[in-house]
């Protein structure tokens, strides 16, 4: 038995896989569905992949002995008839794969729970409806839970660098305590924030909204590595039937990979997925950070061939050629003063390369979120790319008592010149608040991804596709969003913790000093305090503000 065995299996026969890979058809559950050649082929692929992995690692015994099996897909957003150019985009876990996974698991443990929390403000109930996960749960008789509406328990992570406090929704408490078996079923795709998003990053959709936004900036890689102390999948199965290349969380383009990747070591499995996309995991900061923490135990022993598909990398830059081609009239000015940003002494010596380094000093936050917002315009049916605006990134580089920003050619703009620009100005993040008095559009926070995305489309005067009438599920989205917010509000008013207080500050939030008795533990239970009335109102207000997005 080798716990680092990773199984890769691919569909070799010429059979189309681009039908219903985002949303299940109406006849799911009937013979007409299950007798389709593509459905039978996918089912056989899932069963073969998991059977071989069981033979190599023996994970089944733990799964059988567990109280229940918690399966988490990746439904950050489900793009099906969503008001964009194509009907489907491979953003989310293939429901055909999920159905086969559930069927295989139930041979050994009948109690299965499908659990997810989509990206704020997308209600997970809507994602379940669009993808058909709700019908899988009904047909297979599994549990189905929207994590954003669940009470949480708090834990302290003594070894963490950034996210020292973690709130875990109650359906995942059994996973933390070792009572439940956890299966992560992510999509094989690239990502603007972290370059790739696979099995262990999928846990970001477990923690609640406000905690998700904490340190969603240049610290994101450290934050995700911290989460491995408390949320490590027992089994990862990467859905690579139709991969996604491009700028997630915006729409991504399909890659016909036709494969599955499965393993019991989450880091080893994700590294194989990374190589399949054509990337060296050792060149990706997230994987380097995970290695520093001791979660990388060596390369996987791969059972099967590892094909390489050279996915188009996620490109967060607004100064780069691709963005400039799409939006030639947008003036982008970058000027970060963060510790990791280049140190500038002479504003007239900045090159285009240095300007891009300044811009990328906070890739994991507002930059990637803002690029995602503009990317929705690229994929939108209503494309207004000619509008002239200025986008300000960062609080300015301090040089001799003045603040400076730089355009894509490295040309310097002193603060007074920026303030006198004769065009609408969009500022992003808390860094951009230094210019809030001249900004026509703002998205404060550190970081509020959804606010950044919506600010981009608002500044270009283009409707956000998911919030437009062109989205076939707009009505369902709206009703589910109201229900979700009202439930979170009601729980908060009752004094039940469902999240942490929303605070968009660039800081590592303090926790109590850990005694020597606990310092070597991965996590320690840390009970939440009883809410007073003032905190209840604050938490309720945080929930209602979700609807303002």
Two structure tokens written together for 321: 């050629």
pLDDT value of residue 459:
97
Is the pLDDT reported for residue 381 higher than 90?
no
Instruction: Tell whether 202 is covered by a domain.
Output: yes
Two structure tokens written together for 414: 């002193």
Do 296 and 175 share a structural domain? yes
| SS3 assignment, position 333 | strand
Residues of the domain holding 365? 321-467
Question: Are residues 311 and 255 in contact, defined by beta-carbon separation less than 8 angstroms?
Answer: yes
Instruction: Tell whether 511 is covered by a domain.
Output: no
For the CA atoms of 456, 382, 191, 344, the dihedral, rounded to the nearest 10 degrees, stands at -40
Sign of the dihedral defined by the CA atoms of residues 216, 340, 442, 435, in that order: positive
Is the pLDDT reported for residue 97 higher than 80?
yes
Q: What is the CATH number of the domain that holds 297?
A: 3.40.50.11440
Do 329 and 259 share a structural domain? no
Question: What pLDDT digit, counting tens, does each position of 172-215 carry?
Answer: 999 999 999 999 999 999 999 999 999 999 999 999 999 999 99
Do 240 and 363 share a structural domain? no
Question: Are residues 191 and 242 in contact, defined by beta-carbon separation less than 8 angstroms?
Answer: no
Do 186 and 141 share a structural domain? yes
Sole residue written with tokens 């399966």: 71
Do 344 and 238 share a structural domain? no
Question: What pLDDT digit, counting tens, does each position of 221-248 carry?
Answer: 999 999 999 999 999 999 999 999 999 9
> Of 467, 502, 529, at which residue does a domain stop?
467
Two structure tokens written together for 393: 């990134």
Question: Strand 330-334 relative to strand 301-303: parallel, antiparallel, unpaired?
Answer: unpaired
Do 458 and 350 share a structural domain? yes
> Of 423, 439, 467, at which residue does a domain stop?
467
For the CA atoms of 248, 254, 255, 261, the dihedral, rounded to the nearest 10 degrees, stands at 60
Question: Are residues 395 and 427 in contact, defined by beta-carbon separation less than 8 angstroms?
Answer: no
Strand segments, DSSP code E, in 59-177 are 69-73, 112-116, 143-146, 152-156, 165-169
Question: Are residues 133 and 277 in contact, defined by beta-carbon separation less than 8 angstroms?
Answer: no
* Mean pLDDT (the chain, rounded): 97
Do 145 and 116 share a structural domain? yes
- Strands of the sheet with 165-169, listed across from one edge: 165-169, 152-156, 524-525
pLDDT value of residue 154:
98
The proportion of the chain whose per-residue pLDDT surpasses 90, expressed as a percent, equals 96
Integer Cα distance of 209 and 216 in angstroms: 11
**Domain total for the chain?**
2
> Of 450, 467, 484, at which residue does a domain stop?
467
pLDDT value of residue 2:
83
Instruction: Tell whether 504 is covered by a domain.
Output: no
Question: Strand 330-334 relative to strand 389-393: parallel, antiparallel, unpaired?
Answer: parallel
Instruction: Tell whether 527 is covered by a domain.
Output: no
Instruction: Tell whether 232 is covered by a domain.
Output: yes
Do 341 and 278 share a structural domain? no
Do 392 and 296 share a structural domain? no
The proportion of the chain whose per-residue pLDDT surpasses 70, expressed as a percent, equals 100
Give CA separation, 416 vs 299, 345, 540, in Å.
53, 19, 41
Question: What pLDDT digit, counting tens, does each position of 120-168 carry?
Answer: 989 999 999 999 999 999 999 999 999 999 999 999 999 999 999 999 9
pTM of the full predicted structure? 0.97
Close Cβ partners of 479 (under 8 Å, ≥ 6 residues apart): none
Do 372 and 276 share a structural domain? no
Question: What pLDDT digit, counting tens, does each position of 271-298 carry?
Answer: 999 999 999 999 999 999 999 999 999 9
Do 390 and 442 share a structural domain? yes
pLDDT value of residue 549:
67
Cis peptide before 249 (omega within 30 of 0): yes
Do 114 and 202 share a structural domain? yes
Is the pLDDT reported for residue 382 higher than 80?
no
Question: Are residues 238 and 188 in contact, defined by beta-carbon separation less than 8 angstroms?
Answer: yes
Instruction: Tell whether 371 is covered by a domain.
Output: yes
pLDDT interval class at 504 (50, 70, 90) = confident
Instruction: Tell whether 538 is covered by a domain.
Output: no
pLDDT interval class at 107 (50, 70, 90) = very high
pLDDT interval class at 403 (50, 70, 90) = very high
- The upper half-sphere exposure of residue 106, i.e. CA atoms within 13 Å in the direction of its Cβ, equals 18
pLDDT interval class at 13 (50, 70, 90) = confident
Instruction: Tell whether 7 is covered by a domain.
Output: no
* Ramachandran region, residue 233 (left: φ > 0; alpha: ψ -120 to 50; beta: rest): beta
């Amino acid at each position: 038995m080798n716990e680092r065995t990773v199984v890769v299996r691919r569909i070799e026969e010429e059979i189309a896989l681009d039908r219903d890979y985002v949303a299940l058809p109406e006849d799911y559950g009937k013979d007409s569905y299950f007798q389709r050649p593509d459905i039978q082929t996918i089912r056989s692929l899932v069963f073969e992949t998991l059977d071989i992995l069981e033979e190599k690692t023996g994970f089944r015994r733990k799964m059988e002995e567990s109280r229940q099996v918690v399966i988490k897909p990746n439904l950050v957003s489900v793009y099906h008839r969503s008001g964009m150019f194509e009907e489907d985009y491979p953003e989310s876990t293939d429901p055909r794969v999920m159905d086969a996974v559930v069927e295989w698991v139930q041979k050994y443990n009948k109690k299965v729970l499908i659990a997810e929390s989509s990206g704020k403000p997308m209600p997970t109930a809507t994602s379940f409806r669009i993808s058909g996960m709700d019908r899988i749960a009904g047909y297979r008789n599994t549990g189905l839970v929207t994590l954003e509406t669940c009470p949480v328990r708090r834990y302290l992570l003594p070894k963490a660098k950034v996210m020292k406090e973690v709130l875990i929704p109650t359906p995942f408490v059994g996973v933390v305590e070792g009572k439940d078996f956890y299966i992560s079923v992510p999509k094989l795709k690239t990502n603007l924030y972290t370059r790739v998003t696979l099995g262990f990053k999928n846990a970001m959709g477990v923690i609640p909204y406000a905690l998700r936004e904490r340190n969603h900036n240049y610290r994101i890689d450290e934050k995700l590595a911290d989460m491995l102390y408390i949320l490590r999948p027992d089994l990862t199965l990467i859905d690579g039937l139709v991969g996604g290349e491009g700028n997630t969380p915006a729409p991504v383009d399909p890659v016909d990979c036709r494969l599955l990747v499965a393993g019991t070591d989450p880091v080893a499995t994700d590294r194989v997925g990374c190589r399949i996309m054509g990337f060296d995991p050792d060149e990706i900061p997230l994987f380097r950070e995970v290695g520093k923490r001791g979660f990388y135990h060596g390369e996987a022993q791969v059972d099967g061939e590892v094909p390489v598909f050279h996915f188009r990398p996620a490109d967060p830059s607004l100064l780069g050629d691709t963005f400039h081609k799409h939006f030639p009239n947008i003036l982008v000015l970058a000027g970060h003063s963060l510790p990791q940003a280049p140190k500038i002494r002479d504003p007239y010596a900045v090159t285009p390369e240095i300007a891009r380094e300044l811009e990328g000093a906070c890739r994991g936050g507002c930059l990637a979120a803002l690029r995602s917002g503009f990317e929705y315009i690229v994929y939108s049916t209503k494309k207004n790319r000619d509008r002239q605006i200025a986008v300000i990134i960062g609080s300015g580089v301090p040089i001799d008592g003045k603040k400076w920003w730089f355009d894509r050619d490295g040309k310097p703009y002193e603060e007074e010149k920026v303030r006198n620009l004769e065009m609408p100005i969009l500022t992003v993040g808390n860094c951009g608040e230094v210019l809030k008095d001249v900004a026509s559009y703002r998205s404060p926070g550190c970081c509020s991804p959804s606010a950044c995305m919506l600010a981009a489309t608002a500044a270009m005067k283009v409707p956000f596709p998911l919030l437009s009438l062109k989205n076939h599920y707009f009505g369902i989205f709206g009703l589910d969003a109201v229900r979700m917010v009202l439930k979170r509000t009601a729980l908060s008013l009752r004094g039940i913790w469902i999240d942490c207080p929303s605070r968009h500050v660039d800081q590592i939030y303090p926790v109590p000093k850990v005694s020597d008795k606990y310092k070597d533990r991965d996590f320690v239970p840390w009970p939440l305090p009883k809410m007073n009335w003032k905190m209840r109102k604050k938490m309720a207000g945080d929930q209602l503000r979700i609807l303002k997005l």
